[in-house]
């Protein structure tokens, strides 16, 4: 497993080196040079093709796994992931592939996984629902496609700051590898290690300096892998609760659901309309007060990176109990409910400026700087 992880890491890291070192060759088509939109928080144009090193690392890890085990599972997984990855990468390069098209491509990838990998959700440990899913394959297909696409999209939602989505994904994939080990499934465990290595190889270039972004290609690829590996783990091992992977990804999933509710019912806006009111954005605006108002790129980049650890800590509140109670649905459901309440409490506290002082990371600009500090309502 260590060999798989290191192989994936090395390949991803090297491809990242080449993309960063020779960015002048692809800047024209790969850079995110939008520095003023509501959801943009980087200081200088940055290539957003980090999905390429992640995919390269995955290919290396999967090939090593296949050579060691003789299994074609990893190769099939990479094949079915291509619609999600290609649609996301196309958006990164052309800026013309809308969110609906990317989501539909991910649905297609999930449907391919349903047929080619037997990656289907046929139980939720809920009376009545399990019988419906088990007796009607078409209902199971729709539910699986919706769940996989939703998780992939949610990872893209939280991909807003250096290292945020990448490290959260490493937490989730490591937990999946742990449970795969517990149920003696070396193939899924090897795929999880390959994914962890690929993400870590990219992450070294993404955090803390933000020299390359995952982009939609990377985010949808990683999200799809997390969702598909989760479905496979539950489908192949009846002892694994279907609530285990849900609790693992409850942070990005609930972030997405809450954003839909906030835009549709509280703001009366289209659910796809961009805003700067996600929890990670509120943390950036209200808690990370480091050099607020400075327009220097190094200050803005550092403030960006300081935001992610807050959300890493939040994500760990769901990942740790999921690993401890991976086969106990009642406890996992209770933990999911507790996480939702915690999220809502934190969001309400931050929005209303009731955050305790120990949570606020503050450093003021020197007084001799000719920079106007932004007010708390316009930071």
In this predicted model, what pLDDT tens digit does every residue of 323-352 receive, in sequence order? 999 999 999 999 999 999 999 999 999 999
Average pLDDT score over the chain: 91
For the segment 114-132, the average pLDDT, to the nearest whole number, is: 92
User: Above 60 in pLDDT, residue 186?
Assistant: yes
User: Above 50 in pLDDT, residue 118?
Assistant: yes
pLDDT tens string 277-330 = 899 999 998 999 877 777 787 888 888 899 999 999 999 999 999 999 999 999
In 3-state terms, what secondary structure has residue 9? helix
* Residue 130 neighbours by CB distance under 10 Å: 14
Q: Is 132 exposed, middle or buried (0-12, 13-18, 19+ CB in 10 A)?
A: middle
pLDDT tens string 22-69 = 998 998 899 876 665 655 555 678 899 999 999 999 999 999 999 998
Domains of the chain, by residue range, sit at: 2-363
Q: Which residue has the higher pLDDT, 365 or 377?
A: 365
pLDDT tens string 215-250 = 999 999 999 999 999 999 999 999 999 999 999 999
User: Above 70 in pLDDT, residue 210?
Assistant: yes
**Judging by DSSP bridges, how do beta strands 46-47 and 31-32 pair with one another?**
antiparallel
**Torsions phi, psi of 323, nearest 5?**
-70, -35
Distance CA 204, CA 50 (A): 11
Q: Is 297 exposed, middle or buried (0-12, 13-18, 19+ CB in 10 A)?
A: exposed
Model pTM? 0.92
Sequential DSSP letters for 81-149 = HHHHHHHHHHHHHHS---HHHHHHHHHHHHHHHHHHS-------S-TTHHHHHHH-HHHHHHHHHHHHH
pLDDT band at 371 (very low <50, low <70, confident <90, very high): very low
Query: How far is the CA of 79 from the CAs of 109, 116, 190, 259, in angstroms?
Result: 9, 10, 17, 32
pLDDT band at 375 (very low <50, low <70, confident <90, very high): very low
Structure tokens at 279: 């929890």
Q: Element (H or E) spanning 47, and its range?
A: strand 46-47
pLDDT band at 373 (very low <50, low <70, confident <90, very high): very low
pLDDT at 39: 56
Distance CA 103, CA 37 (A): 22
C-beta separation of 130 from 122 below 8 A: yes
Strand partners, 46: 32
Distance CA 84, CA 82 (A): 5
Per-residue DSSP letter, 23: G
Give the count of alpha carbons within 13 A of 33, CB side only.
8
User: Above 60 in pLDDT, residue 367?
Assistant: no
């Amino acid at each position: 497993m260590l060999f798989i992880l290191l192989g994936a890491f090395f390949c991803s890291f090297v491809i990242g080196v080449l993309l960063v070192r020779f960015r002048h060759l692809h800047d024209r088509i790969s850079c995110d040079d939008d520095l003023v939109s509501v959801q943009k928080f980087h200081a200088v144009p940055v290539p957003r093709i980090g999905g390429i090193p992640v995919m390269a690392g995955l290919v290396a890890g999967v090939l090593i796994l296949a050579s060691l085990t003789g299994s074609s599972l990893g190769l099939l997984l990479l094949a079915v992931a291509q619609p999600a990855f290609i649609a996301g990468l196309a958006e990164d390069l052309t800026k013309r592939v809308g969110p609906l098209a990317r989501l539909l491509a991910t649905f297609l990838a999930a449907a391919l996984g349903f047929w080619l990998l037997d990656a289907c959700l046929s139980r939720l440990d809920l009376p009545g629902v399990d019988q419906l899913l088990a007796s009607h394959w078409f209902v199971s297909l729709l539910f699986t496609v919706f769940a996989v696409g939703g998780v992939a999209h949610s990872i893209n939602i939280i991909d807003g700051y250096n290292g945020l989505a990448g490290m959260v994904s490493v937490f989730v994939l490591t937990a999946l590898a742990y449970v795969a080990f517990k149920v003696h499934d070396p193939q899924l465990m090897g795929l999880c290690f390959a994914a962890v290595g690929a993400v870590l190889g990219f992450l070294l270039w993404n955090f803390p300096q933000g020299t390359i972004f995952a982009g939609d290609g990377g985010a949808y690829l990683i999200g799809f892998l997390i969702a598909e590996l989760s479905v496979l783990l539950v489908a192949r091992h009846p002892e694994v609760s279907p609530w285990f992977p849900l609790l693992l990804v409850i942070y990005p999933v609930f972030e997405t659901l809450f954003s839909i509710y906030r835009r549709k019912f509280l703001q009366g806006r289209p659910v796809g309309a961009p805003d700067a009111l996600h929890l990670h954005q509120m943390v950036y605006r209200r808690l990370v007060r480091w050099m607020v108002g400075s327009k220097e790129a190094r200050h803005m980049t550092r403030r960006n990176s300081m935001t992610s650890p807050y959300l890493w800590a939040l994500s760990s509140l769901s990942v740790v109990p999921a690993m401890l109670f991976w086969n106990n649905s009642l406890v996992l459901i209770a933990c999911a409910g507790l996480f939702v309440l915690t999220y809502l409490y934190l969001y309400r506290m931050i929005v209303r400026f009731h955050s305790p002082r120990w949570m606020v990371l503050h450093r003021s600009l020197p007084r001799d700087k000719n920079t106007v500090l932004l007010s708390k309502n316009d930071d």
